[in-house]
Amino acid sequence: MRTALVYHEEMTAARLLWDDPECEIERPERLTAAVERLQQGGLEQRCLQLAAREASEAELGLVHSPEYVSLMRGTQALSTEELQALSGQYDAVYFHPSTFHCARLAAGAALQLVDAVLTGTAHNGLALVRPPGHHSQRAAANGFCVFNNVAIAARYAQKRHGVHRILIVDWDVHHGQGIQYIFEDDPSVLYFSWHRYEHGRFWPYLRESDADAVGLGPGRGFTVNLPWNQVGMGNADYMAAFLHVLLPVAFEFDPELVLVSAGFDSAIGDPEGQMQATPECFAHLTQLLQVLAGGRVCAVLEGGYHLESLSQSVCMVVKALLGDPAPPLLGPMVPQHSALESIQSVRAAQAPHWTSLWQQGSTPTLSLSTCSPERRPSPVSPGGPKCKAAEAQTSAVLSSLLDRLHLCATPPVRTAIALTAPAAAMVLPPDILRQEESAPREETQAWARLHEALTQDTAFTALGKVLHLLNGILDGQVSSGIATTPAAASTLEVVLRQGLSHGAQRVFCVALGQLDRPPDLANDGRRVGS
Ligand code: Q9C
Ligand code: ZN
């Protein structure tokens, strides 16, 4: 079992008991919608399902003060009026008689996930929890958060499992200031957060959410804030943030465990975030994180208030954790000017602390040139004032998402392998398809006649297998494959032509090491990158 899914239905018990427009979005249906979608997609059954346990008070004490834990324990016995009065003591918080139980389950779920991953029971996983955690502080509830689930899990991983370096990736659209405060002077926990900031004019309105807040004392450089100063950030902006900020720093940090504060209010359709990234983007973000810490990635739900967008994004994360290939990202893959400014400012602020950011000085030459936009859908209008047209476009994009989920079905075969002798005698793992030579001989012969090198027996046989493999990939039957051949350049040229004439729009060739001769890729320079 690769991927753990930690959940408990009792976390749906807490709900808002009075009128409060700010808090009403944090409702039980967030969890039920996400779980139902996981079931519908057949994803829940592919996971190791674990029932959440309550965190003990000692475990809560890894992050929170005893007085605060006692105060929260006391909420179980309060009347509605008393609960409302206590809620008013905090910013954007509501309590329910079941809140303490739910919040202990939420923290406990994160701990159980960490246990499963660090004992090897699972490779990675997701905890579906509420209330969320990343705004919660040592002695304060904040922003719907009661206990800081991810912060507790980080301290627990260190104390209980002896993990040294932990990376926390907070892709929720709000700044997890609670996590920042808890680890701000601690170099053993690297905290990365991007968040809607709008030059300080968005909640929680903190100066310390800006890019120049990098941590304190020995923790300098171990807080990485990427403030978005406009709404409407999309797939290209999120990918650029990971590729140009998070991943360079994370590789240099070399974490032993990755915790994700996985909020989906940063996805399209969310009323809080007003961003444009589509659910598939979260599959890509998850995939990128899996290259770190030996793939030990534990995601814990934070925000996410558009039920459809939330549910689809959760499915994308689970699919990526299970190892399914990420669906292609649609829309123009060009970062916005404002995103590049934000990326540049955090690189500048962090450059003194991370050698990997020196490379291009603190001013990355992020290319503004574009990939060929033909056959890509028209861009969703980014940011700007909310208008009817933009909203209509957003909901049009959203309603097409479900269709695309079906179109992007995962191929039944993950990896096919086409080998020539003597490698063909190799014993293969059971989940790898041995590609047989069953392409139409005539087609192979026609190709081979054009290339002297391919008339040779082993090369001819190999070409037949490779063409068959390629057809499997183009038909959606096979995800990826590997092949051997004594005539690599000629085979590559044939495969390239075949791919381009059978539906591939753009092909990227990467050569590692040397081919028998330089292949001729110039036949269609518009579509072949190398
Ligand atoms: N329109 C989480 O996502 N209200 N908490 C902000 C701005 C508080 C969000 C109001 C939002 C709290 C976990
Ligand atoms: Zn949030």
How far apart are alpha carbons 300 and 319 in whole angstroms?
Answer: 15
Give the ligand at the shortest distance from the Cα of 205.
1
Domain boundary, last residue among 316, 336, 356? 336
Counting ligand 1 atoms within 8 A of each CB, the residue from 174, 270, 313 with the most, and so the one to mutate, is 174
Token pair listed for 42 = 């057949």
How far apart are alpha carbons 44 and 28 in whole angstroms?
Answer: 19
Same-domain pairing of 417 and 320: no
Tell whether 406 is covered by a domain. no
pLDDT of residue 401: 56
CB-based contacts of 398-401 (< 8 A; 24+ apart in sequence):
398/268, 398/269, 398/308, 398/309, 401/278, 401/279, 401/308, 401/309, 401/312
Domain boundary, last residue among 336, 368, 388? 336
Q: How far away, in angstroms, is 91 Cα from ligand 1 center?
A: 9
pLDDT of residue 368: 43
Provide the residue type at 61 as one letter: G
- Spatial CB neighbours of 108, under 8 Å, sequence gap ≥ 6: 52, 53, 54, 55, 59
CATH of the domain at 40: 3.40.800.20
Using alpha carbons only, what angle is made at residue 526 by residues 525 and 529, rounded to the nearest 5 degrees? 65
- Closest residue CA from atom 3 of ligand 1: 303
How far apart are alpha carbons 7 and 44 in whole angstroms?
Answer: 11
Q: How far away, in angstroms, is 231 Cα from ligand 1 center?
A: 15
Same-domain pairing of 328 and 180: yes
Please check whether residue 276 is in contact with residue 233, taking contact to mean a CB–CB distance below 8 angstroms.
Answer: yes
Same-domain pairing of 456 and 316: no
Q: Sheet holding 413-418: strands in order across? A: 432-434, 413-418, 478-483
Same-domain pairing of 299 and 436: no
Tell whether 243 is covered by a domain. yes
Tell whether 362 is covered by a domain. no
pLDDT of residue 315: 98
pLDDT of residue 314: 98
Tell whether 385 is covered by a domain. no
- Spatial CB neighbours of 342, under 8 Å, sequence gap ≥ 6: 211, 226, 227, 228, 229, 241
Instruction: Identify any residues that bridge with 195 across adjacent strands, giving them in sequence order.
Output: 227
Q: List helix spans (H) across 408-440.
A: none
- Closest residue CA from atom 9 of ligand 1: 143
Catalytic residues: 135
Same-domain pairing of 424 and 327: no
Counting ligand 1 atoms within 8 A of each CB, the residue from 142, 261, 272, 300 with the most, and so the one to mutate, is 272
How far apart are alpha carbons 386 and 274 in whole angstroms?
Answer: 9
How far apart are alpha carbons 244 and 45 in whole angstroms?
Answer: 36
Tell whether 360 is covered by a domain. no
pTM for the predicted model, two decimal places: 0.87
- Index of the ligand 1 atom closest to the CA of residue 134: 13
Domain boundary, last residue among 313, 336, 359? 336
- Closest residue CA from atom 6 of ligand 1: 203
- Index of the ligand 1 atom closest to the CA of residue 305: 3
Same-domain pairing of 332 and 431: no
- Index of the ligand 1 atom closest to the CA of residue 132: 13
Tell whether 26 is covered by a domain. yes
Instruction: Identify any residues that bridge with 262 across adjacent strands, giving them in sequence order.
Output: 301
Instruction: Kindly list the protein residues whose Cβ atom lies closer than 6 A to any atom of ligand 1.
Output: 22, 92, 132, 135, 143-145, 172, 174, 203, 263, 265, 272, 302-303
Token pair listed for 285 = 């973000």
Instruction: Identify any residues that bridge with 481 across adjacent strands, giving them in sequence order.
Output: 416
By residue range, what is the domain housing residue 177? 3-336
Which helix H or strand E contains 223, and what residues bound it? strand 223-228
Give the ligand at the shortest distance from the Cα of 132.
1
Q: Return per-residue pLDDT of the chain as tens, 530 residues.
A: 699 999 999 999 999 999 999 999 999 999 999 999 999 999 999 999 999 999 999 999 999 999 999 999 999 999 999 999 999 999 999 999 999 999 999 999 999 999 999 999 999 999 999 999 999 999 999 999 999 999 999 999 999 999 999 999 999 999 999 999 999 999 999 999 999 999 999 999 999 999 999 999 999 999 999 999 999 999 999 999 999 999 999 999 999 999 999 999 999 999 999 999 999 999 999 999 999 999 999 999 999 999 999 999 999 999 999 999 999 998 789 999 999 999 999 999 999 999 999 966 445 444 444 444 343 433 333 333 444 566 666 666 666 654 554 456 788 888 999 888 777 778 888 888 888 777 677 888 888 888 888 888 888 888 988 988 988 888 888 989 998 888 888 998 888 888 888 877 788 888 787 888 888 876 555 566 66
- Closest residue CA from atom 10 of ligand 1: 203
Same-domain pairing of 143 and 15: yes
Torsion of CA 312, 242, 193, 57, to 10 degrees: 70
| Backbone region of residue 321 per phi and psi (left: phi > 0; alpha: psi in -120 to 50; beta: other values) | alpha
Same-domain pairing of 330 and 417: no
φ, ψ (nearest 5 deg) of residue 373: -85, 5
Look-up of token digits 């959410």 = 209
Q: How many residues does the chain have?
A: 530
Tell whether 326 is covered by a domain. yes
Q: How many domains does the chain have?
A: 2
How far apart are alpha carbons 528 and 525 in whole angstroms?
Answer: 5
Token pair listed for 290 = 């899996």
Token pair listed for 344 = 């540049």
